[in-house]
């Protein structure tokens, strides 16, 4: 059985005015997302948009040689499938579940129909898309110019924003795949953070002990993305009752 939860746990859905939300509410389908599940592959036509509530999805770019790295992450702040509202329908990247959980999905035709109506839905999704583009650009710069430890801290902080418990089910191999670096680099960086008392790593579980410590070791990329998302969505109003659901 699915745990008791609602679409208000996704911030985009919670920000829709009641009239616009009610038009799609009956069509939202709650789905479980398993670790490693592929929501779409490069070039594949998207059939649904996904609004995560407790799951986190990683957008990956995969090279011809099979190497991959994360270009952006999507949690309860956003939507997987922005190409549907931009007219592309396909993406050159893949979307893979990074953290198991749940999401609500909406059939592509219904999303386009609501987007074409204009109103708050269109403006909200376009601003979210701009925030996602900022994340894409900053991740590219970070992967090119910053040390593995800085990248790891940036990635852990972004994940913590979506999993506030501070408990992450994550192996070194998976993190290395996300960042597009060698596993040995992640092992060394994680060891340094554990020695400093910022995290504890054991058997595929990472526990963040001191978030402020990670913030001191992270590069500026985390703060840049967080600030831009805040700027773009700072005036978002949540429906009555929705704010408590996502607090």
Tens-place pLDDT, residues 115-144: 999 889 999 999 999 999 999 999 888 888
Contact 71, 14 (CB under 8 A): no
- In the predicted structure, residue 13 carries a pLDDT above the cut 90: yes
**Domain spans of the chain?**
10-143, 147-218
- The answer as to CATH 1.10.760.10 being correct for domain 147-218 is no
- In the predicted structure, residue 22 carries a pLDDT above the cut 50: yes
* DSSP β-bridge partners for residue 200: 207
Read off the tokens for 52: 């995560």
Contact 157, 138 (CB under 8 A): no
Tens-place pLDDT, residues 23-40: 999 999 999 999 889 999
pLDDT recorded at residue 238 = 77
- CATH code of 10-143, in short, is 2.60.120.10
User: Within 13 Å, how many C-alpha atoms sit on residue 196's CB side?
Assistant: 19
């Amino acid at each position: 059985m699915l745990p008791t939860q609602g679409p208000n746990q996704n911030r985009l859905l919670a920000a829709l005015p009641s009239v616009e939300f009610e038009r799609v509410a009956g069509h939202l389908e709650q789905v479980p997302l398993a670790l490693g599940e592929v929501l779409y592959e490069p070039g594949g036509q998207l059939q649904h948009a996904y609004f995560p509530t407790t799951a986190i999805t990683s957008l990956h770019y995969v090279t011809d040689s099979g190497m991959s790295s994360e270009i952006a992450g999507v949690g309860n702040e956003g939507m997987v499938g922005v190409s549907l509202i931009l007219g592309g329908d396909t993406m050159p990247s893949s979307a893979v579940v990074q953290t198991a959980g749940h999401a609500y999905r909406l059939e592509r035709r219904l999303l386009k129909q609501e987007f074409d109506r204009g109103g708050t839905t269109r403006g909200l999704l376009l601003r979210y898309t701009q925030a996602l583009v900022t994340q894409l650009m900053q991740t590219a710069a970070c992967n090119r110019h910053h040390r593995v430890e800085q990248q790891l801290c940036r990635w852990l902080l972004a994940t913590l924003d979506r999993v506030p418990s501070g408990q992450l089910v994550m192996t070194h191999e998976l993190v290395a795949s996300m960042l597009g670096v060698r596993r040995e680099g992640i092992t060394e960086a994680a060891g340094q953070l554990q020695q400093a008392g910022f995290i504890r790593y054991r058997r595929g579980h990472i526990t963040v002990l001191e978030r402020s410590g990670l913030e001191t070791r992270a590069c500026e990329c985390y703060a840049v993305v967080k600030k831009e998302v805040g700027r773009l969505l700072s005036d978002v109003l949540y429906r009555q009752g929705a704010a408590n659901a996502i607090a």
